[in-house]
Structure 1
Amino acid sequence: MRNFLLSLLCLLPLAAAAQQVQLKGLFGSSAMLEIDGEQRLLKAGQSSPEGVKLLEATTDYARVAVDGRQQKLTLDAPVAASYARSKRPEVRLVADKQGHFSTRVWVNGRRVPVMVDTGATSVAFNYPTARSLGLDLDRAQPIQVSTASGVARGYKLNLNSVTIGGIKVHNVEATVLPDDFPETTLLGNSFLSRVDMEQQRGMLILRARN
């Protein structure tokens, strides 16, 4: 019952009408939303008269969509986000409890989980992930990399494309490291330097450049 009474002070300015949405409570697969002062109890899949659609609700979060844009609201991490129309594609990532931004991207048309790492020079894969993605290491440039066990062979190559949401970047430099490090693919600066980034109240916003 406690979760049912929790209010998340997450004000979301929505599309052209500048609507305000506030998540008031979670009730199994339903969520109580307050939209421009009107309370709406929606079941998953339902839309309010104002055009706010509840995509999913659990005891921990609600996921809503407006004008094709989605936002996940959690009880542990209230997040404010803008649904204003944008001329450029953008992706909004919420930090986990460790402060990391993780998501999934498409590499050469194949999906892979990644963690944003501004300290990484390039997109970095471990060897098994590179093989599973079908990267042609026979044509990659061999390089020497330092590991905990000493110096080992790695590879440098260019990816045809890296796509996250509606943002697609071509010809992205990547590094393949030996063994199983890093455990999660790092989305480094060879990609990040080619998009615009903004941090906003626990959220990382990536925007395509014109």
Structure 2
Amino acid sequence: MRSFYVVVFSFLLALGAQAQQVQLKGLFGDSALLEVDGRQRILKAGQKSPEGITLLEATTRYARVSIEGREQKLTLEAPIAASFAQAARAEVRLAADSRGHYMTDAWVNGLRVPMMVDTGATSIAFNYPTARRLGLNLNTAEEIRVSTANGITRAYRLNLNSVTIGGIKLHNVDATVHADDFPSVVLLGNSFLSRVDMEQQQGVLLLRARH
């Protein structure tokens, strides 16, 4: 039996005057499972969906699709390029967990890291072990003191080249690295959130890229 890979990356595609939401749901053999505006389509390489999406190639690691001559490579290891959608803004939808928190996967230095949305955090906040895993350079970072629930502690302020969540990619994002194991999960703070549009809809948090 061929392995089935589930992916959660989605992106917006502009078709004429109407933007479609396309999501890669899985890869198996030379076929890909796509979801187009809620409709699931299983395509083999070379086939076109009723919505006009052509699957050019599918492997166990990625799928290449084409719409009206424009190509996009959907990988299992990297986020979708927002530049593919020209007429529509990239959008990320986050459902609240059982505690009411919004969790998402972000990409920093080419590595995936879980983050929790925290509108009370000034910047993206990492603990020290996570910063080391991501290869963040603290040698040139500014040493600061921050106030946490555990009291005043040492931290480092630095600038991230880019942070990518779904189809939203921002450059030059401020971050803070704490010198201990706090916070237990990376906090997605306002150095990122203030640069996107946010909206809550029935327990779902929408993040939209700005033009």
What TM-score results when the alignment is normalised by the length of structure 2? 0.60
Determine the structure 1 residue equivalent to 2:126.
125
Alignment of 1:60-79 (within 5 A): none
Alignment of 1:40-119 (within 5 A): 87-119=88-120
Q: Secondary structure at the match of 1:198?
A: strand
Determine the structure 2 residue equivalent to 1:157.
158
Q: What letter matches 2:185 in structure 1?
A: T
Q: Deviations for 1:83-123, whole angstroms, at most 9, x for unmatched residues?
A: xx961111111111111110100012221000011111000
Question: Within 2, Cα distance between the matches of 1:185 and 1:118?
Answer: 13
Question: Within 1, Cα distance between the matches of 2:50 and 2:185?
Answer: 40
CA 1:149/1:189 → structure 2, altered by over 3 Å: closer, same or farther? closer
Instruction: Return the offset for 1:148.
Output: 5.0
CA 1:150/1:97 → structure 2, altered by over 3 Å: closer, same or farther? closer
Determine the structure 2 residue equivalent to 1:5.
none
Determine the structure 1 residue equivalent to 2:142.
141
Question: Within 1, Cα distance between the matches of 2:202 and 2:161?
Answer: 33
Instruction: Return the offset for 1:50.
Output: 6.8
CA 1:145/1:167 → structure 2, altered by over 3 Å: closer, same or farther? same
Count residues in correspondence: 148
- Cα RMSD after superposing both structures: 3.4
Q: Secondary structure at the match of 1:139?
A: coil
Q: Secondary structure at the match of 1:137?
A: coil
Q: Secondary structure at the match of 2:131?
A: helix
What TM-score results when the alignment is normalised by the length of structure 1? 0.60
- Structure whose CA Rg is larger: 1
Question: Within 2, Cα distance between the matches of 1:107 and 1:158?
Answer: 11
Structure 1 residue ranges without an equivalent (≥5): 1-14, 18-34, 52-66, 69-84
Instruction: Return the offset for 1:151.
Output: 2.8
Q: What letter matches 1:104 in structure 2?
A: D
Q: What letter matches 2:172 in structure 1?
A: N
CA 1:147/1:91 → structure 2, altered by over 3 Å: closer, same or farther? closer
Q: What letter matches 2:196 in structure 1?
A: V
Instruction: Return the offset for 1:141.
Output: 0.2
Question: Within 2, Cα distance between the matches of 1:140 and 1:44?
Answer: 48
Determine the structure 2 residue equivalent to 1:75.
none
Question: Within 2, Cα distance between the matches of 1:156 and 1:92?
Answer: 29
Question: Within 1, Cα distance between the matches of 2:173 and 2:115?
Answer: 15
Q: Deviations for 1:39-77, whole angstroms, at most 9, x for unmatched residues?
A: x9x89989xx976xxxxxxxxxxxxxxx99xxxxxxxxx
Question: Within 2, Cα distance between the matches of 1:200 and 1:155?
Answer: 35
Question: Within 1, Cα distance between the matches of 2:206 and 2:145?
Answer: 34
Q: What letter matches 2:139 in structure 1?
A: D
State percent identity of aligned pairs.
Answer: 65
Q: What letter matches 1:155 in structure 2?
A: Y
Instruction: Return the offset for 1:146.
Output: 2.9
Once superposed, which parts of structure 1, at least 4 consecutive aligned residues long, lie more than 6 Å away? 42-46
CA 1:200/1:112 → structure 2, altered by over 3 Å: closer, same or farther? same
Q: Secondary structure at the match of 1:138?
A: coil
Determine the structure 1 residue equivalent to 2:28.
none
Question: Within 2, Cα distance between the matches of 1:116 and 1:44?
Answer: 34
